[in-house]
């Protein structure tokens, strides 16, 4: 199993030393989010300061950028890192696309399929000299001259993964991508009974096997050096479950457990602004369904039971002990 951690991105001057320290500790890779900072720039810095660390955006907002822009940035980081970059993209919700990025909204799954296909067409043009001619409903690309073709990437084109929650986006991931980044709002039961069968079906359609496809995430991990640190994360997870569980698009996870009433109650409370009270509706037993829990010295078996044989990559805090990382790598 691969163990990743987040790359601190608020200060580009500190990214290089942080990435080196994470690599020396024994993490498999680092990831960046597109919140306050750009998701690509820190990884470009990390690419030049590390030797083996895998680098991934988790996630970069897709529709806010032309596929050509994303393809170019990804190509440059792939070259700088000598083949260690994975482009992780997500659709974001309508409100952020329209009101924060000022881009038009349409059903995200068909558009994401074209986005990934466009990336493949652009990279194929650059890598193999094929004529660029992608014609979709949302994206069309037909112009590429030598002046705009980047230098060759000897390590091959970047991998591309997408974030997926619903069944249609899950289908796109399995049919078009190198992997999927699952939401943390996911129980072991939902992963085993709903997500994995959907992915297997999509992989079969694309003529690939599970071994050709990387699955990341699919649950929370509450761990730390002592009980106080674990409890702090545990309570944060409880809060996140209450928050996500108030949104109908996440209710299929609740429904798999017969918790439909909880979803409706959380939704009603959110409309009344009862955010603190919502957290109190999430029991310890429910948190444990979503989360592997334990101190650093006891978390291995819980991670094994929760994720082994189901996912390939999980994330842990950057202070995870080196010997624990080595132990988890063997799962």
pLDDT one-digit tens code per residue, 37-68: 999 999 999 999 999 999 999 999 999 999 99
Average pLDDT over residues 68-76: 98
Residues of the chain with CATH 3.20.20.30: 2-222+298-329
Does 249 have pLDDT greater than 90? no
Q: Can you give the pTM of this predicted structure?
A: 0.93
Does 292 have pLDDT greater than 90? yes
Q: Given this model, what pLDDT does residue 19 score? A: 98
Nearest one of 226, 202, 220 to 303, comparing CA atoms: 220
Residue in the structure block whose two tokens are 């000299």: 129
Q: Give per-residue pLDDT as tens, 149-188.
A: 999 999 999 999 999 988 999 999 999 999 999 999 999 9
Task: Yes or no: say if 313 and 2 are a contact pair by the CB < 8 Å rule.
Answer: yes
Give the relative orientation of helices 41-49 and 67-80 as an angle to the nearest 10 degrees: 20
- Whether the ω angle into residue 152 lies within 30 degrees of 0, i.e. cis, is no
C-alpha 202/C-alpha 170 separation (Å) is 8
Average pLDDT over residues 189-200: 95
Average pLDDT over residues 80-108: 94
Work out the widest C-alpha separation in the chain, in whole angstroms: 60
Nearest one of 60, 63, 61, 59 to 138, comparing CA atoms: 63
Q: Given this model, what pLDDT does residue 93 score? A: 84
4, 59, 107, 204, 240 from 302: Cα distances, Å: 17, 26, 38, 31, 20
Does 225 have pLDDT greater than 90? yes
C-alpha 126/C-alpha 153 separation (Å) is 9
Portion of the chain with pLDDT greater than 90, in percent? 96
Token code pair at residue 125? 């043009």
The H-assigned helical ranges of the chain are: 12-25, 41-49, 67-80, 94-95, 108-128, 167-176, 188-190, 196-205, 227-245, 251-255, 260-271, 275-280, 284-290, 299-307, 322-329
Does 147 have pLDDT greater than 90? yes
Residue 148 pLDDT class (50, 70, 90 cuts): very high
Residue 108 pLDDT class (50, 70, 90 cuts): very high
Residue in the structure block whose two tokens are 């590390």: 50
Does 13 have pLDDT greater than 90? yes
Q: Given this model, what pLDDT does residue 215 score? A: 98
Mean pLDDT, rounded, of the chain:
96
Token code pair at residue 279? 């957290």
70/95: higher pLDDT: 70
2-222+298-329: CATH superfamily: Luciferase-like domain (3.20.20.30)
């Amino acid at each position: 199993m691969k163990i990743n951690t987040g790359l601190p991105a608020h200060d580009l001057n500190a990214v290089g030393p942080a990435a080196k320290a994470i690599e020396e500790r024994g993490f498999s890779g680092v990831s960046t989010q597109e919140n306050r900072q750009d998701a690509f720039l820190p990884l470009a810095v990390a690419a030049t300061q590390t030797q083996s660390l895998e680098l991934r955006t988790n996630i970069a907002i897709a529709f806010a950028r032309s596929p050509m822009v994303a393809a170019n940035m990804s190509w440059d980081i792939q070259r700088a890192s000598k083949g260690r970059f994975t482009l992780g993209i997500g659709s974001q919700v309508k409100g952020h696309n329209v009101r924060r990025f000022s881009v038009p909204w349409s059903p995200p799954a068909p558009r994401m399929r074209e986005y990934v296909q466009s990336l493949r067409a652009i990279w194929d043009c650059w890598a193999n000299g094929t004529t660029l001619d992608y014609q979709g409903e949302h994206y069309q690309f037909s112009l590429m001259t030598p002046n705009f073709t980047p230098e060759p990437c000897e390590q091959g084109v970047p991998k591309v993964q997408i974030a997926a929650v619903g069944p249609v986006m899950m289908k796109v991931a399995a049919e078009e991508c190198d992997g999927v980044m699952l939401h943390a709002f996911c129980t072991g039961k939902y992963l085993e009974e709903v997500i994995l069968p959907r992915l297997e079906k999509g992989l079969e359609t694309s003529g690939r096997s599970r071994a050709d496809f990387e699955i990341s995430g699919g649950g929370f991990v509450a761990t730390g050096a002592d009980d106080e640190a674990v409890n702090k994360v545990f309570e944060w997870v409880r809060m996140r479950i209450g928050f996500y569980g108030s949104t109908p698009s996440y209710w299929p996870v609740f429904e798999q457990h017969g918790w439909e009433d909880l979803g409706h109650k959380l939704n009603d409370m959110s409309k009344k602004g009862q955010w603190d009270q919502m957290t109190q509706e999430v029991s310890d037993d429910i948190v444990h369904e979503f989360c592997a829990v334990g101190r650093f010295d006891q978390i291995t078996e819980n991670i094994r039971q929760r994720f082994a044989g189901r996912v390939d990559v999980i994330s842990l805090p950057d202070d995870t002990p080196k010997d624990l990382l080595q132990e988890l790598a063997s799962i």
